[in-house]
Chain A
Amino acid sequence: MADVRPRKLSRRSTGADAVFEHGARAVGASVLVITGGVGVFLAWQAYPTLKRYGLSFFTESQWAPDQDVIGIAAVLTGTVSVALVAMTFAFPLSVLVALYISEYAPARIRSTLVSLVDLMAAVPSIVYGLWGFFLIMPYAAELALWLQRNFGWLPFFKVENTDPDAAVWDTSRYVASAFCAGIAVAMMVMPMACAVMRQVFSQTPQGEKEAALALGATRWGMVTSVVLPFGRGGVIGGTMLGLGRALGETIAVVLIVSPAFEIKPRILEVGTSTVSSLIAGRFGEASTSQLSALLAAGFVLFVITLIVNTLAAVVVNRSRSGAGTDA
């Protein structure tokens, strides 16, 4: 019984190929060092702060370095509430627009619409900030007043220190809120989420769509029975990618909100703060130790977005691989 052993194959490259391979590896390594270095640096800088303040860094709402009171509870709730407001607007809009483009729009204008959505994603966030601050905020305040009047019994629609039924309403209590900022941020994340969803919707196997139609389904029946189940991964993934972007958005928020350090579920009321607006507002006057605290806040934000983005990537990839079986 002679043993058949595999021969050794030389995979080593020679000459120019070796140079190429090592060069490429060096580039990869340097990028790894640069990008990974940022993450490591953040963690390293965040460590003293986290060690010094411990858990209270996450539970304290005030950011008063002068009094040695530092915590990100308020800015984190602010970040989350702005992102949630943004997603309540962006999620339904992006699903519906993605459905419109992939299933409802006339075939001739479909590619134009795809480009328009991509263009929306490319518009700088400062432009959406201007749009939100100057054009939308008055209407948003009016909508906020209406919401408070009719749904004020809900804790997050409450606005304190103001009477909604007053003859002349106090506009200043309703502007510069998480609600207003959320609308502008929604404009930024909607096209991103929409692009992902549309791409997955457009990969729905034609055979299944035709099967539904041939049974006598209406277009909406076809969408609910075939397109949405198929694109569920894309919907979840796109939403989470959008959420990740919404959490880190800075400039539109800084332009719109007036800073307030208070754990505030009342999204309609003036004043809030997010992690990124905290950094943008406080970096200038910060001493080295305060800078470390800001970096710690940034690190926490980064970790949150990283988790959200990774989950999104996992969900989207899983839905894609499922699609491959029917090719």
Chain B
Amino acid sequence: MTGDRTDVLPSIGDQHASTTVIPAVPAVPAIPAAPSGPPVPTTASLEAERVSAWFGQRKVLDRVSLEMPAGRVTALIGPSGCGKSTFLRILNRMHELVPSAALAGEVRLDGQDIYAPERRLTDARKAIGMVFQKPNPFPAMSIQDNVLAGLRLTGTKIGKGEREGLVEESLVRAGLWLEVKDRLKQPGSALSGGQQQRLCIARSLAVRPRVLLMDEPCSALDPTSTRVVEETIQQIAADVTIVIVTHNMQQAHRVSHQCAFFLAAHGTPGVIVEHGPTDTIFDNPQDQRTSDYVNGRFG
């Protein structure tokens, strides 16, 4: 098992040589044999249906429908200000933190609308984790406490023995274990930017979400850290459904199985212009605007 784990890092060089070749199915993540902590849920599909969104009077999304199948990586691409991030924040109910925000449509997690009045807000966010643009580990907590923060915050009880197993498992899945296993008690803010971001991924994974949303997770990172995070995404994709917003077309190409191209023409709310398998979007798009965008002619 340890062998699997370590050869993740050396492979970076190989990928650099031929940028597009990343093993489609990465080595099965080296998860410690007996999963501990909360029971591991199966992956879930996420489905947005006719989602519209407003900030005050301004409509920012218009009837966006998108299926994000279980166990796949879905990339949301498009120029700035087209509503990708808003759409992502709608998927785990972070949208409503803005006081003037409004929303129409449904977001279904395995067929259940997460906005239904009988569903609890915190349950939706627990099942659908989120990683932000800027790494935001809790500065007052140690690395280990950061990983366990989600459990503490949601009131999930686990035994002391299981706790260590869960910390290790989450950090392994986020590709950070080897770098931090000797300093779990140090503050999370002492890590580098890329490590912090992977710590945030580990923190999200520790709650065992069924879907993980990533809002431009690499835009604040250097190229090397970006590659490590991308590998992490590849590894965890098998057991967590991933939706990732990215400005980086190559990144979308590298990590995602399917892509959705968002666009907001002047003064109109954002819509999905085209969506489908990543390769087809990039090589054989139907819409001219998609073609222009993925070939770097605007945006």
A–B contact with Cβ pairs below 8 Å: the answer is yes
Do residues A216 and B125 form an inter-chain contact, with CB atoms below 8 A?
yes
Q: What 1/0 flags go to B179-219 for Cβ under 8 Å of A?
A: 00000000000000000000010011001000000000000
Q: A202-239 toward B: CB 8 Å interface, digit per residue (1/0)?
A: 00010110111111111001100110011000000000
CA distance A284 to B130 in the complex (A): 70
Contacts of B286 in A (CB 8 A): none
Q: Which residues of A contact B207 (CB under 8 A)?
A: 215-216
A168 within 8 Å of B by Cβ? no
* In-complex Cβ contact of B140 among A215, A218, A229 (8 A): A229
Known: A107-B99, A207-B136, A229-B140. A212 touches B149 (CB 8 A): yes
Residues of the A chain whose Cβ atoms lie less than 8 Å from the Cβ of B139: 208, 230, 326
B132 touching A216, Cβ below 8 Å: no
Q: Which chain B residues in 133-156 approach chain A with CB under 8 Å?
A: 134, 136-141, 149-150, 152-154
Find chain A residues with CB under 8 A from B130 CB: 210, 214
Q: With A and B bound together, what is the CA distance between A211 and B129 in angstroms?
A: 9
- Cβ 8 A contact of A216, one of B123, B136, B200: B123
A29, chain B: closest CB distance, angstroms: 43
Q: In this assembly, does B94 line the interface, its C-beta being within 8 Å of a C-beta of chain A?
A: yes
- Residue A108 at the chain B interface, CB threshold 8 Å: yes
Residues on B with beta carbons closer than 8 Å to the beta carbon of A230: 139-140
Choice from A107, A207, A218, A226 contacting B132 with Cβ under 8 Å: A207
B256 at the interface (CB under 8 A from A): no
Q: Which residue of A lies closest to B136 (CB)?
A: A207
Inter-chain contact A216/B138, CB cutoff 8 Å: no
Q: Kindly list chain A residues whose C-beta atoms are within 8 Å of the C-beta of B126.
A: 215-216
Report Cα–Cα, A326/B97, bound state, in Å. Answer: 21
Return chain A residues, CB-CB under 8 Å to B200.
211
B122 x A214 contact (CB < 8 A): no
**Cα–Cα distance between A215 and B207 once the two chains are bound (Å):** 7
Indicate the member of A205, A208, A211, A218 with the most B CB atoms within 10 Å: A211
Contact B92 A214 (CB under 8 A): yes
Which of B130, B132, B137, B153 counts the most A-chain CB atoms under 10 A from its CB? B153
Q: For window 99-140 of chain A, which residues contact chain B by CB distance below 8 Å?
A: 106-108
Measured CB to CB, the nearest residue on chain B to A232 is: B140
Complex Cα–Cα for A313 and B135 (A)? 31
In the bound complex, how far is the Cα of B129 from the Cα of A205, in angstroms?
A: 19
A200 to chain B, nearest CB (A): 14
Q: Once the chains are docked, how many angstroms separate the CA of A229 from the CA of B123?
A: 25
A218-B122, A226-B138, A229-B140 known; A212 vs B153 contact (CB < 8 Å): yes
A214 pairs with B138, CB closer than 8 A:
no
User: Given B94, B134, B153, which contacts A225 in the complex, CB threshold below 8 Å?
Assistant: B153
Within 8 A of B (CB), among A135-161: none
List B residues 152-191 near A (Cβ within 8 Å). 152-154
The answer on a CB contact under 8 Å between B132 and A210 is yes
A229 to chain B, nearest CB (A): 4
The 5 A-B pairs of least Cβ separation, nearest first, read: A216-B126, A217-B153, A207-B136, A214-B130, A215-B150
